[in-house]
Structure 1
Amino acid sequence: MSGNNAPKHGGNLYAAMRQKGGSLNEILDFSANINPLGLSEQIRQTLYASLESIIHYPDVQGHALKQELSHYYHVKQEQITLGNGAVELMYVLCHMLKPKRVLVTAPTFSEYESAARASGAAIEYFYLNAADDFTIDIQGIAQQLPAIDIVFICNPNNPTGKLLSNGQIEELVAMAKVHQTYVVVDESFLDFLLDDHTYTCRSLLEKYNNLIILHSLTKFYAIPGLRLGFSLTNPELTNRLHAGKDPWNVNTLAQNAGVAALRDEEYQHKSKEFIKKVNMDLYHSLLTIPGLKPYKPSVNFILINIKDTNLIAEELRQALAAHNILIRDCSNYPGLSPDYIRIAVKSPEQNHKLIAALQQIIGGIE
């Protein structure tokens, strides 16, 4: 695939490095929403200890990891499908269910649409309103459900950061069940919240067979290069997903890293506390820069309207790239425009470098 046709996501450090030269360590990547605390020592040690085991096939059933996921998230093992990242499971899901029409909010994570299109589905958008801070209107979505086979909900939504309570999710799932519509809820960023139990809909799995939960472990545990995620749904659909995927789709290193990650209570608590403080510090710093309108974050990323800077996203992206800083240009999100960028929340030192660069660029010095 050529660079021009490659999917546009955050975190494309390699393209930036090829363009500018230098090493990965010289680039500050605010375009990918990864835990700023980085790799935990428990995972690092587990990976070292696991190297010799890669001469064998991975455990095809992922038994140890499913056991740990079942314990940590209070779900049944027969509800779990392991994925080479949550994105793989989006594609497996769409290929197995063969939906004719799929509803996605706009804006939201682009791979929902890509996975649906890859299986031949038509896409309908439910546009979120910037004037309403991109709040997801459950009743509005419900009106479109009669003609929809699958609706994707990202909670909190990427890139807006808006959250739905589990009560709101249940309202949607219940209305969708009437129309035999599947609701796929992506909870990949909920791990960053101290009160994630207020938002997760895992407790609804026993009640609704049209609910599917997707969850990535790569963002919270800072292992996107390993690829690891899982889905939760009724056992019958879990069996269908297993039938539709590569039996060895999750490699040994990823499985073992996942077990170590879920046992690392110190890292989990430290990460949640860290993000809670640092995301608000960064938000308040952004508010001091004339022309920026950041949306209040819930987790480890912030959407920003830059219209009043008289710059468009691509211009600001290029200006920051000259400072070796990557951001996410949001102009290719349906429902957004060249007036929007998204930044990740990183360490206080790295956040300060971003703020200093933004002050310099927007202040007109460059």
Structure 2
Amino acid sequence: MRPYDHGGDVYSHPVELDFSSNINPMGMPDAALAALCACPTDFEAYPDPRCLQLTSAVAQAEGVPESWVLCTAGASDAFLRVCLALRPRTALVVSPGFSGYGHSLRQVDAEIRTHDLRECDGFALTDRVLADLTPDVDLAFLCTPNNPTGCTVEAGLLERIVARAAAQDTVAVVDECFLDFADQPSAVRLCAAYPQLIVVKAFTKSYAMAGLRVGWCVCSDGALLDRVYGCGAEWAVSSPAQAAALAALSEAGYLERTRAYVAAERAYLASGLAESGLRVVPSEANYLLFQVPVAFDLKAALLERGILIRSFADCRNLGPTWFRVAVRTHRENVRLLHEIQEVSCAWQRP
């Protein structure tokens, strides 16, 4: 079987609750679901290859010209397209971080350099990264909030990184797939000043639309964005995905309600994990990274109880004692904490 190193693998094992995939616990917006149900059953027509209506709606939501927006089949499609368009010789990623950047970079045989986040810094990105952003780096990937740590990049630092990249002709990709869960400004505000900046977002997490595969890039360099567009498959975003995404953007107050709900449940879940003797990394996203104090396969133990979580046993700068769980509904979070408490005798003294 081909390897799979992401969350959401509910197909290989019987799973009642999936805490491994960080999807909005409020579920898909009602408007998006209604749009899907209203889609015609006759799919003889190709989808709009340029996603014209969705592009217009995204541009309006972002406050940018339509020419700055490219719709893609999710964020992973965007990352791969960028790598194919640029074919960087050398690229910079951070660790712990999303493994998808490395996957895309390996398709073009790029040399991947890693900036190591430090546990003593709470896994936060600091000015130390500027020393690794050397002139020979062609492409740099950043994520805010970072996955899997949940730490956002401080706004001033992010601009210093983007400015350094611009000064040496490095393309900077900022992954904001989880930014809707945090109270932080988007890097889109920097795109006008820094044409080599590409901001990537998706409907996957924020709008609970992982199965539809739809996202977008924002970049003020039209020629660069055209190259990225040309490195993807035609008709990459299906007609149902475009319809659902367009409707999702129209649902008033959805993201505001999401942020409030996730913030309350994240605090509840973090407190419960800590009470079970686990070390929890503070997060601004819809997931929590934590460490078990002893060598114990918590993922396997919970899977026996029908719950899937994410293990980082093979992740640089983490290891087999580190795990991540999504923030889900209150009832589901209660169930997770109960099951963890049931197996906590492996690391807690009676």
TM-score scaled to structure 2, two decimals? Answer: 0.96
1:311 aligns with 2:308: no
Does the Cα contact within 8 Å between 2:281 and 2:288 map onto a contact in 1? yes
Does the Cα contact within 8 Å between 1:93 and 1:241 map onto a contact in 2? yes
1:122 aligns with 2:108: no
Question: 1:364: Cα distance to partner?
Answer: 4.4
Residue 237 (structure 1) aligns with: 224
CA distance in 1, matches of 2:317, 2:168: 26
Which secondary structure does the structure 2 equivalent of 1:32 belong to?
coil
1:355 aligns with 2:337: yes
Question: Which residues of 2 match residues 20-39 of structure 1 at below 5 A?
Answer: 27-39=16-28
Residue 252 (structure 2) aligns with: 265
| Structure 2 residues without counterparts, runs of 5 or longer | none
Residue 88 (structure 1) aligns with: 77
Q: 330-339 or 214-223, which moves further after superposition?
A: 330-339
Question: 1:37: Cα distance to partner?
Answer: 1.0
Question: 1:252: Cα distance to partner?
Answer: 0.4
Residue 235 (structure 2) aligns with: 248
Residue 298 (structure 1) aligns with: 284
Residue 335 (structure 1) aligns with: 317
Which secondary structure does the structure 2 equivalent of 1:212 belong to?
strand
CA distance in 1, matches of 2:246, 2:4: 30
Q: Which amino acid aligns with 2:273?
A: L
Residue 209 (structure 1) aligns with: 195
Which of 1, 7, 12 aligns to 2:4? It is 7
Residue 122 (structure 2) aligns with: 133
Which secondary structure does the structure 2 equivalent of 1:332 belong to?
coil
| Structure 1 residues without counterparts, runs of 5 or longer | 18-25
Q: Write 1 or 2 for the structure with the bigger share of helix.
A: 1
1:26-54 C-alpha deviation (Å, 9 max, x unpaired): 61000000001112221111001113353
Q: Which amino acid aligns with 1:244?
A: C
Does the Cα contact within 8 Å between 1:215 and 1:231 map onto a contact in 2? yes
CA distance in 1, matches of 2:243, 2:204: 13
Identical pairs, percent: 31
TM-score scaled to structure 1, two decimals? Answer: 0.91
Question: 1:265: Cα distance to partner?
Answer: 1.4
1:196 aligns with 2:184: yes
Q: Which amino acid aligns with 2:214?
A: L
Which secondary structure does the structure 1 equivalent of 2:11 belong to?
helix
Inter-CA distance 53–145: structure 2 relative to 1 (3 Å threshold): farther
User: Number of aligned pairs?
Assistant: 347
Which of 308, 327, 337 aligns to 1:326? It is 308
Does the Cα contact within 8 Å between 1:345 and 1:351 map onto a contact in 2? yes
Residue 212 (structure 2) aligns with: 226
